Amino acid sequence: MSTSSVKKIIPENELVDQNDNYNSDEKTAPVKKQPWREILMLSFSSLGAIYGDLGTSPLYTLNSIKYKQLPPSRDDIYGAVSVIFYVFTIIVIIKYVFIVLVIGPNNGEGGQVAIYAKIARHLNIGPKGVQIPGGANEDSDLQLLSRQDTTASSVVTTVSRIERIKQHPTMISLVQIFILGACFVGCALVVSDGLLTPTASILSAVGGIQVAQPSFTNVLAVSEVILIVLFAIQQFGSNKISFTFAPIIFIWMIGLIICGIYNIAKYHPAIFSALSPYYAIKILREGGIDVFGGAMLAITGTEAMFADIGHFGRLPIQLTLGGFVYPALILCYLGQAAYLVGHPEAYVNPFFLSIPGGTGGGVYWVMFVLATLATIIASQALILSVFSIISQLINLDCFPKLKITHVSSDYAGKVYIGVINWMLMIGVMLTMAGFQNSNNTTAAYGLGITLDLFVTSTLIMICMFYVYNWNIIWPILYCLIFVPLEMCLIIANMKKVPHGAWFPIMVAGLLTSFLIVWRWCRSRKVEQEYSSKIRIGDLYPYFNGPKVTTLDLNNKNVSHEDIKQVGKTDVNTRFGNLTLVKHEGLGIMYVDSLLTNSPNTLPQLYAKLVSTFVSIPSNFVFCGIRVLSIPYVPEEERVLMAPMKLPGHYKCVLRFGYMEDIKVDKKLVSHIMNNIPAISVLNEDQLTSYPMMHIFENDLIRCHEYQPSKNVFTKVGRFIRMLTINHFFSPLNSLTQEYGRFLKLANEDEEREKKIFIGGVARI
């Protein structure tokens, strides 16, 4: 690479004024207005990825309603479809389409993790050491690299009593704990839902064969095969899968509309009277809250739809749901109800029995095939939502760092996580084998979903109050409209616990515990990393650092006197005060990019190197790696560097787009070398033979050792802590670390020569 194409190092007083269009703090690329053609294409594609779950609910919703008598009377049928209509309209359309999808997403992502991230970023209460994406006022990489000491300033303002309570440190601490806990519980519930939704949907569809052919007994085996195929194709990406599945769901929805209109016109055109709330109130008064237990199955997949917003965007989802999916489903439910009015004995399976032409006819088998395909696709929505949620948790350092594969350069939210895909497949197969048939599954289905709805409501209300700073009246009004209905749904589904609803609660409890333990261990590790940073003056006692000043980042005339040659190179080591030896060469130390932000401290890894060997290369670079929320980073913007106060020391950020493989190869190393004045003057041959080493940290994480205690509770607590850190967190954390795999060297000899690991025991 020629030096003319390399971005040279910029003095600190000029560095901060450079235009940084690719903010590494996860700002998105400049927003461009989407053409309607693209919006409509995304709307159509979303059919194949998001609405399978909602769209297949007619298979089992009406036959799950608990009627006061069997077969149901006309008023009971009216009441059932009326409750379904109002639950769907209030929760899916009013709450999600008009409120949650508008104010909930963060940086284009959806789900409870996105709402949590939005609140945490606004209140600055996110996980320590994590930069939450989506902020509009975050510092750029260049500003962080060139930051100097600053003095804090305060502004006194007059605030209202509510504002004082709202911003009180105790209240903020409570909010911090609550929203993180709610986020974990919500995510765990979505994943537990991800186990039941494919089970219920596929078993219900394949079970349709038994309606026409009672002798068929291989429902479970066929369902398991379909499941394996579904998870096997996930690696091709949601973009291709959704576009392939979209025509199937479109035809399925058209089929629902045709069947609905046919049944309404032929059997009972007056069924539209059931949309009166009178019938919903009547059946609830007579049948009690249990009616909600079946009616809420009509809204399964709603939370997954919100979590999948990163795959398609808000407007395409709103258009498709409000303009096509909603009318199709309501017509289908009304059509089934119209058929039941004339054939009340069909309550056992109203969907298949109400298909025009009767069981075994041509239309029946067409709808059966479509139903089977649609239920396979129904599982797609939950699978994608799990990918989205786990991806966001990884970015927030709340989940092990698994490999995330981005499958689209247009949307950062379209991801595939291989490990999660296969683990989810195994979980669903075991769940399906355990429940055996759709009746057992629907008996357990619903509680996790309703709890998820409530968790989202609590987070949205906090978001309204803190992030958008709305008057407290609006969160209260939201609470009065939606929370009572959601509580009724929860209570109705609590009665399912003895019949199988304990399963999603158990799964959610286990996953929530995992997330809490992982986050607690990570927070201890981050605290250890930050507390172990070494001040420059402590390591170099004779370092004559600058006075503490405030740097105006917009002032080009700031003095450049801070970067000066230090006469003495004595260092404090474990063996006392020794003279540091510098040898010709380049050392690149790979550290967490956030650890490079402080201008006066050095990573503990550097102190270990210096105090152990008392020798370092003459040019030393602290290198952090960041993945941006844009697909590709131009080569000229790849490397950002700034000099440190120590002579010959530099801070560097290597930036990659989310579609790029993180790879530090010979070309990129040459790019870094050309940014160092002492090296950039060398010719090509000298650069090739220049001594170099790449330094990585490899600590063994262990629990703190404590003085013996006679207190039984203390001993038990310490034993649990030791097991958690030493035998759970430490090995799992080691499995998910990169350990320099992104560094591409020519051969094993070069790897042995230029790659060095330094570590010890990190006590947390």
Evaluate whether 136 touches 412 at the Cβ level (below 8 Å).
Answer: no
Over residues 383-395, the mean pLDDT reads 87
Is the same domain home to 501 and 553?
Answer: no
Is the same domain home to 348 and 431?
Answer: yes
Question: What is the extent of the structural domain holding 747?
Answer: 535-698+739-763
- Which residue among 489, 522, 555 closes a domain? 522
198-235 pLDDT tens trace: 887 788 778 777 766 777 778 888 888 888 888 888 88
Output DSSP code: residue 60: T
Flag the least confident range among 239-253, 459-473, 541-555, 692-706: 541-555
pLDDT above 90: residue 365: no
Is the same domain home to 549 and 501?
Answer: no
d(CA 411, CA 379): 21
User: Which residues face 415 on adjacent strands?
Assistant: 406
CA atoms within 13 A on the CB side of 643: 21
Over residues 394-402, the mean pLDDT reads 89
Query: Tokens at residue 631, please?
Result: 């697909």
For residue 235, being part of any structural domain is answered with: yes
Is the same domain home to 312 and 206?
Answer: yes
Q: How many other C-beta atoms lie within 10 A of the C-beta of residue 72?
A: 23
- Nearest to 605, CA basis, from 522, 529, 703, 701: 529
Evaluate whether 265 touches 64 at the Cβ level (below 8 Å).
Answer: no
* Helical segments of 213-237, H only: 219-232
d(CA 3, CA 614): 33
Give pLDDT, residue 436: 79
Q: Could you tell me which residues come within 8 angstroms of residue 555 by beta carbon, excluding any fewer than 6 positions away?
A: 13
d(CA 372, CA 369): 5
Is the same domain home to 366 and 499?
Answer: yes
- Nearest to 88, CA basis, from 249, 281, 325, 304: 325
d(CA 154, CA 139): 19
Give pLDDT, residue 280: 92
Give pLDDT, residue 597: 63
Output DSSP code: residue 31: P
Is the same domain home to 588 and 673?
Answer: yes
Evaluate whether 347 touches 76 at the Cβ level (below 8 Å).
Answer: no
pTM of the shown model: 0.82
For residue 383, being part of any structural domain is answered with: yes
Is the same domain home to 173 and 227?
Answer: yes
Phi and psi angles of residue 628, each rounded to the nearest 5 degrees, phi first: -90, 165
- Nearest to 300, CA basis, from 480, 58, 483: 58
Q: Could you tell me which residues come within 8 angstroms of residue 469 by beta carbon, excluding any fewer than 6 positions away?
A: none
* Amino acid identity at 568: K
For residue 432, being part of any structural domain is answered with: yes
Q: What is the 3-state secondary structure (H, E, C) of 486-552?
A: HHHHHHHHHCCHHHCCHHHHHHHHHHHHHHHHHHHHHHHHHHHHHHCCEEHHHHCCCCCCCCCCCCC
232-251 pLDDT tens trace: 888 877 667 767 788 888 99
Give pLDDT, residue 50: 81
Is the same domain home to 432 and 543?
Answer: no
For residue 650, being part of any structural domain is answered with: yes
| 704 to 136, 394, 593, 698, 762: CA distances (angstroms) | 40, 26, 26, 18, 9
d(CA 576, CA 579): 10
Q: How many other C-beta atoms lie within 10 A of the C-beta of residue 387?
A: 28
694-723 pLDDT tens trace: 999 888 899 988 888 888 999 999 999 999
Phi and psi angles of residue 541, each rounded to the nearest 5 degrees, phi first: -60, -25
d(CA 232, CA 223): 14
Phi and psi angles of residue 26, each rounded to the nearest 5 degrees, phi first: 70, 25
Q: Tell how far CA 305 is from the center of its chain.
A: 14
Is the same domain home to 552 and 518?
Answer: no
587-609 pLDDT tens trace: 999 987 565 567 778 888 898 88
Q: Could you tell me which residues come within 8 angstroms of residue 682 by beta carbon, excluding any fewer than 6 positions away?
A: 690
d(CA 375, CA 201): 5
d(CA 507, CA 47): 29
Quick one: which H or E segment has residue 588? Answer: strand 581-590
Q: Could you tell me which residues come within 8 angstroms of residue 443 by beta carbon, excluding any fewer than 6 positions away?
A: 496, 499, 500, 501
Q: Could you tell me which residues come within 8 angstroms of residue 720 by beta carbon, excluding any fewer than 6 positions away?
A: none
d(CA 270, CA 222): 40
pLDDT above 90: residue 460: yes
| 455 to 116, 121, 446: CA distances (angstroms) | 11, 19, 14
Q: What is the DSSP string of 351-396?
A: HHHTSTT-TTSHHHHHHHHHHHHHHHHHHHHHHHHHHHHHHHHHHT
Residue with tokens 């109050």: 465
d(CA 286, CA 39): 46
For residue 332, being part of any structural domain is answered with: yes
d(CA 586, CA 620): 6
Can you give the C-alpha Rg of the chain in angstroms? Answer: 30
Beta-sheet pairing, 639-643 with 649-657: antiparallel
Instruction: Decide: residue 483, CB within 10 A, 0-12 exposed, 13-18 middle, 19+ buried.
Output: middle
276-315 pLDDT tens trace: 999 999 999 988 888 898 888 899 888 878 887 877 788 8
Evaluate whether 117 touches 135 at the Cβ level (below 8 Å).
Answer: no
Which residue did the predictor score with more confidence, 475 or 362? 475
Output DSSP code: residue 592: -
Grouping H, G, I as helix, E, B as strand and the rest as coil, residue 700 is: strand
Evaluate whether 761 touches 700 at the Cβ level (below 8 Å).
Answer: yes
Over residues 25-36, the mean pLDDT reads 51
Beta-sheet pairing, 692-697 with 755-758: parallel
Q: Tell how far CA 669 is from the center of its chain.
A: 32
Q: Taking phi first (over 0 means left), then psi (-120 to 50 degrees means alpha), and beta for anything else, what does residue 436 get?
A: left
In the chain, pLDDT over 70 holds for what percent of residues? Answer: 86
Q: Could you tell me which residues come within 8 angstroms of residue 621 by beta carbon, excluding any fewer than 6 positions away?
A: 586, 587, 588, 589, 641, 649, 650, 651, 652, 672, 676
pLDDT above 90: residue 184: yes
Confidence of residue 34 (pLDDT cuts 50, 70, 90): low
Over residues 546-553, the mean pLDDT reads 47
Quick one: which H or E segment has residue 134? Answer: none
Give pLDDT, residue 3: 37
Q: How many other C-beta atoms lie within 10 A of the C-beta of residue 348?
A: 11
Is the same domain home to 421 and 541?
Answer: no
CA atoms within 13 A on the CB side of 110: 29
CA atoms within 13 A on the CB side of 615: 5
Confidence of residue 560 (pLDDT cuts 50, 70, 90): very low
Q: Taking phi first (over 0 means left), then psi (-120 to 50 degrees means alpha), and beta for anything else, what does residue 758 get?
A: beta
pLDDT above 50: residue 495: yes
Evaluate whether 572 touches 611 at the Cβ level (below 8 Å).
Answer: yes
Is the same domain home to 402 and 469?
Answer: yes
125-170 pLDDT tens trace: 888 777 776 654 444 565 556 555 544 444 455 567 777 888 888 9
For residue 470, being part of any structural domain is answered with: yes
Query: Tokens at residue 760, please?
Result: 């010890």
d(CA 641, CA 675): 7
- Which residue among 522, 551, 579 closes a domain? 522
* Helical segments of 308-349, H only: 309-312, 314-320, 326-342
Is the same domain home to 217 and 361?
Answer: yes
For residue 263, being part of any structural domain is answered with: yes
Over residues 459-468, the mean pLDDT reads 94
- What's the mean per-residue pLDDT of the chain? 82
- The CATH number linked to 226 is 1.20.1740
Quick one: which H or E segment has residue 154? Answer: none
What domain count does the chain have?
2
pLDDT above 60: residue 622: yes
pLDDT above 70: residue 29: no
d(CA 367, CA 363): 6
Give pLDDT, residue 164: 83
- Which residue among 476, 499, 522 closes a domain? 522
User: Which residues face 757 on adjacent strands?
Assistant: 696
Query: CA-based diameter of the chain, in Å?
Result: 98
For residue 188, being part of any structural domain is answered with: yes
pLDDT above 60: residue 20: no
Angle at which helix 112-123 crosses helix 169-206, to 10 degrees, equals: 170
Total residues found in the chain within this entry: 764
